[in-house]
Amino acid sequence: MKNKKIWLSSPHMGENEFKYVTQAFDLNWIAPVGPHLNDFEKNLSKISDNKYVAALGSGTSAIHLALILLDVERDDEVICSSFTFSASANPIIYQGAKPVFIDSEMDTWNMCPESLELAIIDRIENRIKPKAIIVVHLYGMPAKMNEIIEVASRYNIPIIEDAAEGLGSTYYNKPLGSLTEFGIYSFNGNKIITTSGGGALISSNEDSIKKAKFLATQARDHAPHYEHSQIGYNYRLSNVSAAIGLGQLEVLQDRVERRRQIFEHYQKELSDINEISFVEEPDGFYSNRWLTTVLISANSKVSREDLRLNLELNNIESRPLWKPMHLQPIFSSCKYFGSNNAEYLFKYGLCLPSGSNMTENDIARIITNIKRSFEK
C-alpha cells in the first residue's frame, strides 16, 4: 500500500470553528457583514498591538487597498521584496504602477536594507521618488525592520508590511504587521491559520481603516439610494469565513508552537548532514516558522531537485523556495537592485512539510527519507 500523502501545509481546524459557523447559519448572517466579522476584527486587533483592522477577502486585496490609501497611481514606482510570492507585487500592477524589486540579505532572506537604500537613491536621482515600500516577512521570519524603517523614514517613504506568512511572529516582542503604516495578513488555506480564504489590513490610523472598509464595500456614499463618487471594490470578508477565523485565532498560539517544534525537530535530526543548513533567528527575531526551509550546499552530490524528487516518490510534498519576482516572465522588464542572493536561495533552497497537523510518524517518515537521500 502506498504511504499516505504528506502535504507541505494543510488547514488545521480547532475545536470551535464549526460551532461558530453553525451560529452564523442559525442567525442567518450569511453575508459580508455580521457579528462574527466584528468579533474577528476585534480579536485580531487584540493580537496585533491594538491596531484598527479591516477583514477582507484576501491578503492580495489588503495590499491593493493599502496602495490605494497611499495614493499609488499610474506610472508611480513602488519598491517590493523580490524574494516573495507574486501576490506581494501584483497589486502594484493593478494600480498601473511599476514595481522596483529589491534583493534579500542572507541572515533572514528578507529585503536587504543596503540594496533598498541604493534603489531609493537611484530612483530619486532619476526624479521618480518611490511612493511606497512593500516589505515581506517570508516564511514567518521577520525582516530587518529597524534598518529598513530607518532608511524609509530618512527618505520619508511609507511602508506596507506583507505579513501574510508572518501572523504570530514578533520583532523585538512586537507583532509583525504592526511596525509600520500598514500591515497585511492572509488567511488562505495554506497559511498558519485559515478562514478558507481571507485577509486583513491593519493600521494605527482609524480613518485609513474606515476608508478601507468603505472601498471594500463598493464605495457607497451616504444616501438612501446607491450613490458613488469613487470606484469601489468587493473585497470584504464573509461573516461565515470570519466565523472560521474566530475559532482559528483561539488556536493561533498552539499552531505557532507546533510549527516551531517541527522546525526544531528537523534541525536536530538533520544536524549530521553537512549539506543541509537552516536559517537561524537573529536576537530579538521570533519566527512562527510557517514553513521549515533548508538550503542544500552548492557542492552537495544530492541536489535540491534530487531531494525534492526523492520525497515526491515517497508521497511527500516539498517545494523549491519562491522564485524571485525579478526573474518572473511577467516582471522581466522591472528594475532590480541587489547581488543575486534571492537567485541563490531559489537555486539551493527547499520548503519541507510543516503543517501543524502532521503526526510524529509523518515527521519521522520525512526525516528517514531525507537521511536516506543523503546516504546514497
- Does 188 help bind ligand PLP (rule: CB under 6 A)? yes
Distance of CA 103 to the CA centre of its chain: 17
Residue 3 neighbours by CB under 8 Å, 6+ apart: 314, 315, 365
The torsion defined by the Cα of 303, 102, 57 and 321, in degrees rounded to 10, comes to 0
Residue number, nearest CB to ligand PLP: 59
Q: Mapping DSSP to helix (H, G, I), strand (E, B) and coil, where does residue 73 land? A: coil
Return the H-helix or E-strand segment holding 24: helix 17-27
161 binding ligand PLP? (CB under 6 A):
no
Q: Candidates 53-61, 98-106, 207-215, 261-269 — which segment interacts with ligand PLP by CB under 6 A? A: 53-61
Cα separation, 236 vs 214, in Å, equals 10
User: Of 235, 244, 184, whose CA–CA distance to 213 is shortest?
Assistant: 235
Taking the least distance from each CB to ligand PLP, the nearer of 164 and 363 is 164
Choosing from 186, 238, 239, 373, the residue that interacts with ligand PLP (CB under 6 A) is: 186
Closest CA to 109 of 130, 86, 83: 83
Q: How far apart are CA 196 and CA 9, in angstroms?
A: 13
CA angle 310, 288, 38 (to 5 degrees): 125
Q: Residues 193-232 vs ligand PLP: string with x where CB under 6 A? A: ------x---------------------------------
- The stretch near ligand PLP (CB under 6 A) out of 121-129, 157-165, 213-221, 278-286 is 157-165
Smallest gap from residue 63 Cβ to ligand PLP (A): 7
Least separation in angstroms between CB 195 and ligand PLP = 9
Q: Minimal distance in Å, beta carbon 375 to ligand PLP? A: 34
The smaller minimum CB distance to ligand PLP, of residues 164 and 270, is found at 164
Shortest distance, CB of residue 190 to ligand PLP, whole angstroms?
Answer: 7
- Contact between 59 and ligand PLP (CB under 6 A)? yes
How far is residue 185's CA from residue 54's CA, in Å, rounded to a whole number? 10
Does 162 help bind ligand PLP (rule: CB under 6 A)? yes
Q: Indicate which single residue of 85, 109, 337, 348 sits in contact with ligand PLP (rule: CB under 6 A).
A: 85
Site size with ligand PLP, rule: CB under 6 A? 14
Task: From residue 189, give the alpha-carbon distance in Å to each of 48, 237, 248.
Answer: 21, 14, 12
Q: Which of 9, 84, 115, 369 binds ligand PLP (CB under 6 A)?
A: 84
Task: Name the residue nearer to ligand PLP (CB basis): 87 or 311.
Answer: 87
Cα-Cα-Cα-Cα dihedral sign, residues 368, 85, 167, 116: positive
Q: Where does this chain bind ligand PLP (CB under 6 A)?
A: 58-60, 84-85, 87-88, 136, 162, 164-165, 186, 188, 199
